[in-house]
Structure 1
Amino acid sequence: MKNKNILITGGGTGGHLFPALAIGDEITNREPNINIHYVGSNFGLESKVFPVKDVWHTLLPIRGYQRGFSLGSIGKNILLPFRIIVSLKKLKNLFKHFKPDIIIGTGGYASALPLYLAEKKYKDICILLQEQNSYPGITTRWFSEKSKTVCVGFQATINHLNTNTILTGNPVRKGISNGKKSDSESIFNLNPNKKTVLLFGGSQGSTFLNKMMENILEKISNIDIQILWQTGDLDYREYKKYNNYKIRVTPFIDNMATAYSLADLVVCRSGALTLAEITVCGKPSILIPYPHAAGDHQTKNAQALVNAGAARILFEKNLKANDLFELINNLISNSDEISKMSKASKRIGKPNATKLIVDQIFELAV
């Protein structure tokens, strides 16, 4: 594997970016002499993360197709062909000088063009895909049959792909299950001995979940639990007024390992990486899928945990605030049920996912 060149492409959102970074870190830890180059988008989260991580990278002026009909969306779509042409030119120059032996695609609009170029012009390059969701994204569906291997996060994904698939699970952040509950007092100013509900809507927050929590705060205050509530940056100003000794409101949680260790119950969306983390940590959950996710993949992701006995599911369309409160209250007050759900969650967690994915990459490089 020494002196091999590996291109890792994916991003747009954390769900595609963080697996790419986790895979790259594992490769470097095993074989420091491998050259890794990341490809992402100027418009994705990676444009902020890559410079901070100080990784070798190229950002393309590409963004996803806008499905709305506003003037802004139409204008962005008109520019899309031009962005594709410029991005392909930039990629051809990168391929010429970097000469990748393997391309790893983790999904998102940033990964499609490098995979397309490899498939059309550089057929000697090995392709491996990592699909996070139970229903594969469009990039995986496009290029799965051209890849040597597709590493998937859910068993159900295999049914949608006619290629060599391996169930590895999804990469999670290092140390995510090693948080210390005792640290929660100093980090979050919350009591480590009190039953705790953790609510978050992904790294950017969820306006819907925030509104639901606001609507049940009065009832929450009357039961003996505490709340760790990540609002996201955009909504924090609106909800920070509810911060008190029982309810900790924060725009972003840097130390998720400690947050998970504190939580007796998690209320969240059902993005693939979120579910990977809560199962590795063995946390019971109430899942409220984002209804507009491509292919309704968040509902399919959530169903896998529900079927395993690790979660309950509520649907946004008809959800009333009181229904959420009643489910939280019923679960948090039932220690036996919480324990059963926790064990079920832990059973389906895949803490070695990153290692298994990189094992496959190293096999390709032989």
Structure 2
Amino acid sequence: MSSSPKRILIACGGTGGHLFPGIAVAEALLEQGHEPLLLISQKKIDAQASAKYPHLKFHTVAAIAKPGTLSPKMLPFLLALIQSIRSSKKLIREFGAQAVLGMGGFTSLPPVYAGHSLGLKTFIHDSNARPGRANVLTSRFCNKVFIGLEPAAGFFHKPTQLTGTPARPEILHLPSRAEAAKNFGLDPDKTTLVVTGGSQGALGLNQLIAKASPMLPENIQILHIAGPNDYERIKQENPSQRPGYHLMGFCDQMPSAYALADLVVTRSGASTLTEIALASLPSILVPYPYAADDHQTANAKVFSDAGAARLIQQKDLTPESLAKLLTDLLTNPGALKLMANAAKSLAIPDAATRVTSALLAEI
């Protein structure tokens, strides 16, 4: 391995679960004197996130989503895939990339394949306990696979390395509880439940929380981040909420939300779990029921098996049973402390550095 600066192409667009870990790796490379270029999609989330990192270089490409195998859209998809591979090769040559790292999903396949066909070292990172099919396919063209959770190793036929999932740097430096409470107009001295459903498929979870919240003890406050898609509906369905219930559509201050939380209720996407582990937070995990290959349940199981979380399927919850579970936990500081310690034991704070070190060692 040469110590001279390297140029690394990172394909990370399409979802926050791919984008933020990619940004974290880029930050680590930049700190070490290397030059990363982040390949992102034209989606709004990518544009919003990239605007916050003016010191990083981004390149936008058209997002490609794979249709069903027998779908009539398969032919246009394959043509778009071929075009994307060609444009990826052109970009790799122009940038002078020496390695390509994909952070997951079908947006990673064209640049990784292009890098492989040009003779570069190529890598894929998978955050989930049960990897997506796109990553298993992409891994065929990789020298090494970086994994966020140990159970993923068994799904790949290439060398794997447990690195953890890189988190955006601000998650590693949370504000004080008092400062965090001020950001939301909440009381720092009150026990706080934070609910983050996210934007994908969280309506059922959001409705359960909204209906359960009036049944919680009055001294518990709730920060409910419903996601932009569900905010208005939840607001209309529950117009007269209890005091101390703060409903938001979107939160761009997640470090503050984590700093204030005594317990988190959330889906079990890999990036969310990475962040709550880093913040040492106990959680109730309600996997998204329609996730591909039910990978969210596999993720949640890693945390529940470690004692860091309670895993409950959405179909098994009612507002009443959820309110009872929340009350039992939020009024039991000892149980919360044990769960918090277990969450901390699952955290890998230096995941971004682990990825960059492993990648650079191969070049």
Equivalent position SS for 1:292: coil
Note if contact 2:201-2:288 (Cα within 8 Å) is conserved in structure 1.
no
Q: Which residue in the other structure is 1:202 paired with?
A: 198
Note if contact 1:185-1:191 (Cα within 8 Å) is conserved in structure 2.
yes
Q: What is the CA–CA distance in structure 2 between the aligned matches of 1:291 and 1:248, rounded to whole Å?
A: 26
Q: What is the CA–CA distance in structure 2 between the aligned matches of 1:190 and 1:44, rounded to whole Å?
A: 30
Note if contact 2:14-2:63 (Cα within 8 Å) is conserved in structure 1.
no
**1:91 counterpart = 2:88:** yes
Q: Deviations over 1:64-97 (max 9, x none)?
A: 124599xxxx676563234224323322321332
Q: Which residue in the other structure is 2:50 paired with?
A: 50
Q: What is the CA–CA distance in structure 1 between the aligned matches of 2:240 and 2:355, rounded to whole Å?
A: 43
1:295 to 293, 296, 299: 293
Deviates more, 1:234-243 or 1:180-189: 234-243
Q: How many residues align?
A: 356
Q: Which residue in the other structure is 2:163 paired with?
A: 168
Equivalent position SS for 1:129: strand
Counterpart mapping for 1:350-365 below 5 A: 350-365=348-363
Q: What is the CA–CA distance in structure 2 between the aligned matches of 1:75 and 1:144, rounded to whole Å?
A: 27
Note if contact 2:126-2:148 (Cα within 8 Å) is conserved in structure 1.
yes
Deviation at 1:233, TM superposition (A): 1.3
Q: Deviations over 1:292-317 (max 9, x none)?
A: 11221100000000000010011023
Q: Deviations over 1:98-151 (max 9, x none)?
A: 2321101111221111112222x212x011221110111223212324422222
Q: What is the CA–CA distance in structure 2 between the aligned matches of 1:17 and 1:286, rounded to whole Å?
A: 25
1:18 to 17, 20, 30: 20
Counterpart mapping for 1:203-218 below 5 A: 206-218=202-214
Q: Deviations over 1:47-79 (max 9, x none)?
A: 44335534433333232124599xxxx676563
Deviates more, 1:345-354 or 1:318-327: 318-327
Note if contact 1:107-1:139 (Cα within 8 Å) is conserved in structure 2.
yes
Q: What is the CA–CA distance in structure 2 between the aligned matches of 1:205 and 1:180, rounded to whole Å?
A: 31
Note if contact 1:135-1:156 (Cα within 8 Å) is conserved in structure 2.
yes
Q: What is the CA–CA distance in structure 1 between the aligned matches of 2:72 and 2:47, rounded to whole Å?
A: 22
Deviation at 1:270, TM superposition (A): 0.3
Q: Which residue in the other structure is 1:131 paired with?
A: 126
Counterpart mapping for 1:186-335 below 5 A: 186-202=182-198, 206-220=202-216, 222-240=217-235, 241=239, 245-335=243-333
Q: Which residue in the other structure is 1:104 paired with?
A: 101
Q: What is the CA–CA distance in structure 1 between the aligned matches of 2:214 and 2:19, rounded to whole Å?
A: 38
Q: Using a 3 Å threshold, how does the CA distance of structure 1 residues 47 and 261 change in structure 2: closer, same or farther? A: closer
Q: Which residue in the other structure is 1:2 paired with?
A: 4
Deviation at 1:42, TM superposition (A): 2.7
Q: What is the CA–CA distance in structure 1 between the aligned matches of 2:242 and 2:316, rounded to whole Å?
A: 30
Note if contact 1:134-1:157 (Cα within 8 Å) is conserved in structure 2.
yes
Q: What is the CA–CA distance in structure 2 between the aligned matches of 1:281 and 1:146, rounded to whole Å?
A: 35
Deviation at 1:175, TM superposition (A): 3.3
Q: Using a 3 Å threshold, how does the CA distance of structure 1 residues 76 and 245 change in structure 2: closer, same or farther? A: farther
Counterpart mapping for 1:29-44 below 5 A: 29-31=31-33, 34-43=34-43
Q: What is the CA–CA distance in structure 2 between the aligned matches of 1:242 and 1:150, rounded to whole Å?
A: 50
Q: Among the aligned pairs, what percent are the same residue?
A: 31
Gaps of 5+ in 1: none
Note if contact 1:152-1:165 (Cα within 8 Å) is conserved in structure 2.
yes
Deviates more, 1:83-92 or 1:273-282: 83-92
Note if contact 1:280-1:350 (Cα within 8 Å) is conserved in structure 2.
yes
Equivalent position SS for 1:227: strand
Equivalent position SS for 1:53: coil
User: Cα RMSD between the aligned structures?
Assistant: 2.3
**1:64 counterpart = 2:62:** no
Note if contact 2:86-2:114 (Cα within 8 Å) is conserved in structure 1.
no
Note if contact 1:12-1:44 (Cα within 8 Å) is conserved in structure 2.
no
- TM (norm. structure 1) is 0.90
Q: Using a 3 Å threshold, how does the CA distance of structure 1 residues 62 and 249 change in structure 2: closer, same or farther? A: closer
Note if contact 2:177-2:188 (Cα within 8 Å) is conserved in structure 1.
yes
Note if contact 1:190-1:245 (Cα within 8 Å) is conserved in structure 2.
no
Gaps of 5+ in 2: none
Q: Using a 3 Å threshold, how does the CA distance of structure 1 residues 346 and 40 change in structure 2: closer, same or farther? A: same
Q: Which residue in the other structure is 2:118 paired with?
A: 122
Equivalent AA in structure 1 for residue 291 of structure 2: A
Note if contact 2:113-2:141 (Cα within 8 Å) is conserved in structure 1.
no
Q: Which residue in the other structure is 2:181 paired with?
A: 185
Q: Using a 3 Å threshold, how does the CA distance of structure 1 residues 76 and 51 change in structure 2: closer, same or farther? A: farther
Equivalent position SS for 1:289: coil
Q: What is the CA–CA distance in structure 1 between the aligned matches of 2:63 and 2:37, rounded to whole Å?
A: 18
Q: Using a 3 Å threshold, how does the CA distance of structure 1 residues 223 and 349 change in structure 2: closer, same or farther? A: same
